[in-house]
Protein backbone atom coordinates (compact mmCIF):
# COMPACT_ATOMS: atom_id res chain seq x y z
CA UNK A 1 0.00 0.00 0.00
CA UNK A 2 2.78 2.37 1.01
CA UNK A 3 4.60 1.50 -2.15
CA UNK A 4 1.50 2.15 -4.22
CA UNK A 5 1.13 5.63 -2.69
CA UNK A 6 4.79 6.31 -3.38
CA UNK A 7 4.32 5.21 -6.97
CA UNK A 8 1.26 7.43 -7.36
CA UNK A 9 3.16 10.38 -5.92
CA UNK A 10 6.01 9.80 -8.35
CA UNK A 11 3.55 9.56 -11.25
CA UNK A 12 1.88 12.81 -10.21
CA UNK A 13 5.24 14.55 -9.99
CA UNK A 14 6.15 13.28 -13.42
CA UNK A 15 2.88 14.52 -14.91
CA UNK A 16 3.29 17.93 -13.30
CA UNK A 17 6.88 18.26 -14.45
CA UNK A 18 5.90 17.30 -17.97
CA UNK A 19 3.03 19.76 -18.12
CA UNK A 20 5.26 22.57 -16.84
CA UNK A 21 7.78 21.68 -19.49
CA UNK A 22 5.02 21.75 -22.10
CA UNK A 23 3.89 25.20 -20.90
CA UNK A 24 7.45 26.45 -21.14
CA UNK A 25 7.63 25.19 -24.68
CA UNK A 26 4.42 26.98 -25.61
CA UNK A 27 5.83 30.21 -24.26
CA UNK A 28 8.94 29.75 -26.29
CA UNK A 29 6.73 28.92 -29.27
CA UNK A 30 5.14 32.34 -29.28
CA UNK A 31 8.55 33.87 -30.01
CA UNK A 32 8.86 31.64 -33.03
CA UNK A 33 6.99 32.03 -36.27
CA UNK A 34 6.84 28.63 -37.92
CA UNK A 35 6.59 28.51 -41.69
CA UNK A 36 5.71 25.41 -43.65
CA UNK A 37 7.54 24.91 -46.93
CA UNK A 38 8.65 22.27 -49.40
CA UNK A 39 12.36 22.86 -49.87
CA UNK A 40 12.44 21.45 -53.40
CA UNK A 41 11.79 24.61 -55.32
CA UNK A 42 14.93 26.62 -56.14
CA UNK A 43 15.48 29.59 -56.13
CA UNK A 44 12.58 30.00 -53.64
CA UNK A 45 13.40 27.21 -51.17
CA UNK A 46 16.02 24.49 -51.10
CA UNK A 47 18.37 22.82 -48.66
CA UNK A 48 21.88 24.22 -48.45
CA UNK A 49 24.80 23.48 -46.17
CA UNK A 50 24.47 26.95 -44.71
CA UNK A 51 21.03 28.43 -45.18
CA UNK A 52 19.16 31.60 -44.20
CA UNK A 53 16.93 29.73 -41.72
CA UNK A 54 18.86 26.69 -40.49
CA UNK A 55 19.72 24.60 -43.53
CA UNK A 56 16.99 26.21 -45.64
CA UNK A 57 17.82 28.87 -48.18
CA UNK A 58 16.20 30.77 -51.03
CA UNK A 59 14.10 33.85 -51.80
CA UNK A 60 11.19 32.69 -49.62
CA UNK A 61 13.51 32.00 -46.69
CA UNK A 62 14.84 35.56 -46.74
CA UNK A 63 11.26 36.86 -46.89
CA UNK A 64 10.15 34.56 -44.03
CA UNK A 65 13.08 35.62 -41.87
CA UNK A 66 12.24 39.28 -42.42
CA UNK A 67 8.54 38.73 -41.65
CA UNK A 68 9.45 37.05 -38.34
CA UNK A 69 11.99 39.75 -37.47
CA UNK A 70 9.45 42.49 -38.16
CA UNK A 71 7.37 40.88 -35.39
CA UNK A 72 10.33 40.47 -33.04
CA UNK A 73 10.25 36.72 -33.62
CA UNK A 74 12.54 34.01 -34.93
CA UNK A 75 11.56 32.16 -38.08
CA UNK A 76 11.47 28.37 -38.02
CA UNK A 77 10.88 26.03 -40.95
CA UNK A 78 8.80 22.88 -41.07
CA UNK A 79 9.79 21.16 -44.31
CA UNK A 80 7.18 18.82 -45.75
CA UNK A 81 5.60 17.62 -48.98
CA UNK A 82 3.96 20.36 -51.03
CA UNK A 83 0.64 18.53 -50.93
CA UNK A 84 0.62 18.51 -47.10
CA UNK A 85 1.24 22.22 -46.60
CA UNK A 86 -2.31 23.54 -46.48
CA UNK A 87 -3.44 20.74 -44.19
CA UNK A 88 -0.54 21.49 -41.82
CA UNK A 89 -1.75 25.08 -41.72
CA UNK A 90 -5.31 24.06 -40.95
CA UNK A 91 -4.08 21.67 -38.24
CA UNK A 92 -2.06 24.42 -36.56
CA UNK A 93 1.24 22.60 -37.22
CA UNK A 94 2.61 25.76 -38.86
CA UNK A 95 1.70 29.45 -38.56
CA UNK A 96 2.08 30.26 -42.24
CA UNK A 97 3.02 28.63 -45.53
CA UNK A 98 5.67 30.13 -47.79
CA UNK A 99 6.39 27.86 -50.73
CA UNK A 100 6.28 29.77 -54.00
CA UNK A 101 2.61 28.98 -53.73
CA UNK A 102 0.32 30.32 -56.43
CA UNK A 103 -2.78 32.07 -55.17
CA UNK A 104 -5.67 30.21 -56.75
CA UNK A 105 -9.42 30.22 -56.00
CA UNK A 106 -9.52 26.59 -54.88
CA UNK A 107 -6.71 27.04 -52.35
CA UNK A 108 -8.20 30.38 -51.26
CA UNK A 109 -11.30 28.49 -50.15
CA UNK A 110 -9.21 26.57 -47.63
CA UNK A 111 -6.77 29.24 -46.44
CA UNK A 112 -6.23 33.00 -46.58
CA UNK A 113 -3.53 34.44 -48.84
CA UNK A 114 -1.35 37.48 -48.37
CA UNK A 115 -0.90 40.16 -51.00
CA UNK A 116 1.10 38.72 -53.92
CA UNK A 117 4.89 38.96 -53.70
CA UNK A 118 6.03 37.38 -56.98
CA UNK A 119 4.62 36.93 -60.48
CA UNK A 120 5.40 33.78 -62.46
CA UNK A 121 4.02 31.67 -65.27
CA UNK A 122 4.25 28.02 -66.28
CA UNK A 123 6.89 27.23 -68.90
CA UNK A 124 8.18 24.14 -70.66
CA UNK A 125 11.70 22.86 -70.13
CA UNK A 126 12.98 20.79 -73.04
CA UNK A 127 16.31 19.56 -74.44
CA UNK A 128 18.11 22.21 -76.49
CA UNK A 129 17.44 20.33 -79.76
CA UNK A 130 13.73 19.75 -79.04
CA UNK A 131 11.14 20.65 -81.69
CA UNK A 132 8.60 21.70 -79.04
CA UNK A 133 7.90 25.38 -79.69
CA UNK A 134 4.40 25.83 -78.21
CA UNK A 135 2.15 24.06 -75.70
CA UNK A 136 0.19 22.16 -78.36
CA UNK A 137 3.43 20.52 -79.56
CA UNK A 138 3.38 18.56 -76.30
CA UNK A 139 0.26 16.63 -77.38
CA UNK A 140 2.07 13.44 -78.44
CA UNK A 141 5.12 13.91 -76.22
CA UNK A 142 6.05 12.45 -72.85
CA UNK A 143 5.19 15.18 -70.33
CA UNK A 144 6.36 15.33 -66.73
CA UNK A 145 4.90 17.66 -64.08
CA UNK A 146 5.35 17.93 -60.33
CA UNK A 147 2.54 16.50 -58.23
CA UNK A 148 0.19 19.14 -56.82
CA UNK A 149 1.89 22.10 -58.51
CA UNK A 150 -0.14 24.45 -60.68
CA UNK A 151 1.79 23.00 -63.65
CA UNK A 152 -0.07 19.74 -63.12
CA UNK A 153 -3.49 21.40 -63.33
CA UNK A 154 -2.42 23.40 -66.40
CA UNK A 155 -1.42 20.24 -68.30
CA UNK A 156 -4.55 18.48 -67.07
CA UNK A 157 -6.64 21.39 -68.39
CA UNK A 158 -4.92 21.11 -71.76
CA UNK A 159 -6.08 17.48 -71.79
CA UNK A 160 -2.66 15.86 -72.37
CA UNK A 161 -1.51 12.72 -70.57
CA UNK A 162 1.38 13.24 -68.18
CA UNK A 163 3.40 11.67 -65.40
CA UNK A 164 3.62 13.45 -62.04
CA UNK A 165 6.86 13.39 -60.04
CA UNK A 166 7.31 14.34 -56.40
CA UNK A 167 10.34 16.58 -56.91
CA UNK A 168 11.43 19.05 -59.55
CA UNK A 169 14.96 17.67 -59.38
CA UNK A 170 13.65 14.17 -60.24
CA UNK A 171 11.73 15.57 -63.22
CA UNK A 172 14.86 17.31 -64.50
CA UNK A 173 16.86 14.09 -64.12
CA UNK A 174 14.21 12.29 -66.18
CA UNK A 175 14.54 14.95 -68.91
CA UNK A 176 18.35 14.89 -68.80
CA UNK A 177 18.27 11.10 -69.15
CA UNK A 178 16.00 11.34 -72.20
CA UNK A 179 13.17 9.49 -70.44
CA UNK A 180 10.69 12.32 -71.04
CA UNK A 181 10.41 15.15 -73.58
CA UNK A 182 9.20 18.09 -71.52
CA UNK A 183 8.82 19.28 -67.93
CA UNK A 184 6.15 21.89 -67.16
CA UNK A 185 7.05 24.01 -64.13
CA UNK A 186 7.09 27.60 -62.80
CA UNK A 187 9.24 30.08 -64.74
CA UNK A 188 11.82 31.16 -62.14
CA UNK A 189 12.41 27.58 -61.03
CA UNK A 190 12.74 26.57 -64.68
CA UNK A 191 15.34 29.31 -65.27
CA UNK A 192 17.28 28.07 -62.29
CA UNK A 193 17.23 24.45 -63.47
CA UNK A 194 18.23 25.45 -67.01
CA UNK A 195 21.06 27.57 -65.66
CA UNK A 196 22.36 24.65 -63.58
CA UNK A 197 21.80 21.97 -66.28
CA UNK A 198 23.55 22.62 -69.60
CA UNK A 199 21.73 21.26 -72.65
CA UNK A 200 18.25 22.33 -71.58
CA UNK A 201 16.17 25.33 -72.68
CA UNK A 202 12.93 27.04 -71.79
CA UNK A 203 9.96 27.32 -74.15
CA UNK A 204 7.26 29.83 -73.27
CA UNK A 205 3.68 29.97 -74.51
CA UNK A 206 1.76 32.92 -73.13
CA UNK A 207 -1.41 31.83 -74.95
CA UNK A 208 -1.48 28.52 -73.11
CA UNK A 209 -0.13 29.56 -69.72
CA UNK A 210 -1.39 32.67 -67.94
CA UNK A 211 0.46 34.53 -65.21
CA UNK A 212 0.35 33.40 -61.60
CA UNK A 213 1.01 35.23 -58.38
CA UNK A 214 2.69 33.77 -55.31
CA UNK A 215 1.28 34.48 -51.86
CA UNK A 216 1.90 33.44 -48.27
CA UNK A 217 -0.95 31.43 -46.74
CA UNK A 218 -2.30 31.61 -43.18
CA UNK A 219 -5.11 29.74 -41.47
CA UNK A 220 -8.50 31.00 -42.57
CA UNK A 221 -9.55 33.94 -40.40
CA UNK A 222 -6.09 34.64 -38.94
CA UNK A 223 -6.28 38.29 -39.95
CA UNK A 224 -3.93 39.40 -37.19
CA UNK A 225 -1.02 37.46 -38.67
CA UNK A 226 -2.13 38.13 -42.24
CA UNK A 227 -2.07 41.90 -41.67
CA UNK A 228 1.44 41.72 -40.25
CA UNK A 229 2.63 39.57 -43.15
CA UNK A 230 1.07 41.97 -45.66
CA UNK A 231 2.79 44.89 -43.96
CA UNK A 232 6.17 43.18 -44.25
CA UNK A 233 5.60 42.17 -47.88
CA UNK A 234 4.46 45.66 -48.87
CA UNK A 235 7.55 47.13 -47.23
CA UNK A 236 9.86 44.65 -49.00
CA UNK A 237 8.16 45.37 -52.33
CA UNK A 238 8.38 49.14 -51.84
CA UNK A 239 12.05 49.23 -50.87
CA UNK A 240 13.05 46.86 -53.67
CA UNK A 241 14.22 44.06 -51.34
CA UNK A 242 12.19 41.35 -53.08
CA UNK A 243 13.58 42.24 -56.53
CA UNK A 244 17.06 42.44 -55.07
CA UNK A 245 16.97 39.00 -53.42
CA UNK A 246 15.23 37.45 -56.43
CA UNK A 247 18.09 38.56 -58.69
CA UNK A 248 20.65 37.47 -56.14
CA UNK A 249 19.23 33.95 -55.71
CA UNK A 250 18.99 33.34 -59.45
CA UNK A 251 22.79 33.49 -59.44
CA UNK A 252 23.42 31.22 -56.46
CA UNK A 253 24.59 27.77 -57.48
CA UNK A 254 22.19 25.31 -55.85
CA UNK A 255 23.93 22.38 -54.15
CA UNK A 256 22.50 19.00 -55.14
N1 LIG B 1 3.63 27.78 -57.94
C2 LIG B 1 3.36 26.39 -57.98
C3 LIG B 1 2.13 26.05 -57.17
O4 LIG B 1 1.72 26.83 -56.38
C5 LIG B 1 4.53 25.56 -57.48
C6 LIG B 1 4.90 25.83 -56.07
C7 LIG B 1 5.96 24.96 -55.48
O8 LIG B 1 6.34 24.00 -55.99
N9 LIG B 1 6.50 25.25 -54.37
O10 LIG B 1 1.58 25.01 -57.33
Q: Indicate if ligand 1 lies below 6 Å from the C-beta of 42.
A: no
Q: What is the pLDDT of residue 24?
A: 40
Q: Coil, strand, or helix at residue 207?
A: coil
Q: What is the pLDDT of residue 252?
A: 77
- What gap in Å lies between CA 227 and CA 230, rounded to an integer? 5
Q: Indicate if ligand 1 lies below 6 Å from the C-beta of 150.
A: yes
Sign of CA dihedral 159, 103, 101, 247: positive
CB 97 within 8 A of CB 225: no
Identify the burial level of 68 via C-beta atoms within 10 angstroms of its C-beta, where 0-12 means exposed, 13-18 middle and 19 or more buried.
Answer: buried
- What gap in Å lies between CA 123 and CA 182, rounded to an integer? 10
CB 155 within 8 A of CB 143: yes
Cα 72 to ligand 1 centroid, rounded to whole Å: 28
Q: What is the pLDDT of residue 12?
A: 53
Q: What is the pLDDT of residue 23?
A: 43
Q: What global pTM score does this model have? A: 0.86
Which is nearest to 226 in space by CA: 216, 234, 214?
A: 216
Q: Indicate if ligand 1 lies below 6 Å from the C-beta of 101.
A: yes
Q: Indicate if ligand 1 lies below 6 Å from the C-beta of 162.
A: no
> 3-state SS of the chain: helix, strand, coil percent to 5?
45, 25, 35
Beta-strand pair 56-57/45-47: antiparallel
- Quick one: angle between helices 241-250 and 187-196, nearest 10? 30
Residue-wise pLDDT tens for the chain (256 aa)?
556 566 556 545 555 454 544 444 434 458 999 999 999 999 999 999 999 999 999 999 999 999 999 999 999 999 999 999 999 999 999 999 999 999 999 999 999 999 999 999 999 999 999 999 999 999 999 999 999 999 999 999 999 999 999 999 999 999 999 999 999 999 999 999 999 999 999 999 999 999 999 999 999 999 999 999 999 999 999 999 999 999 999 887 665 5
Give the mutation target among 64, 104, 149 for probing the ligand 1 site: most ligand atoms within 8 A of CB: 149
Strands (E), 128-219: 143-146, 163-165, 182-186, 200-203, 211-214, 217-219
Which atom of ligand 1 lies closest to the CA of 101? 4
Cα 71 to ligand 1 centroid, rounded to whole Å: 26
Which is nearest to 62 in space by CA: 43, 81, 86?
A: 43
- What gap in Å lies between CA 101 and CA 215, rounded to an integer? 6
Q: Indicate if ligand 1 lies below 6 Å from the C-beta of 41.
A: yes
Cα 112 to ligand 1 centroid, rounded to whole Å: 16
Q: Indicate if ligand 1 lies below 6 Å from the C-beta of 56.
A: no
Which atom of ligand 1 lies closest to the CA of 149? 10
Q: What is the pLDDT of residue 6?
A: 65
Cα 191 to ligand 1 centroid, rounded to whole Å: 15
Which is nearest to 161 in space by CA: 147, 182, 141?
A: 141
What residue's CA is closest to ligand 1, atom 10?
A: 149
Amino acid sequence: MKNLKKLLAICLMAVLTLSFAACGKKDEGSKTLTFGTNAEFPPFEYVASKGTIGEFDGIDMVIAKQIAEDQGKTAAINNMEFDSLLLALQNGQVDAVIAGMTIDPERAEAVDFSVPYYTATQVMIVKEDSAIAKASDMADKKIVVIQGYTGESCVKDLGYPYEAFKKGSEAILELNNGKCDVVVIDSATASKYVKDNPGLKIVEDADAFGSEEYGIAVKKGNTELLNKINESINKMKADGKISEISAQYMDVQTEE
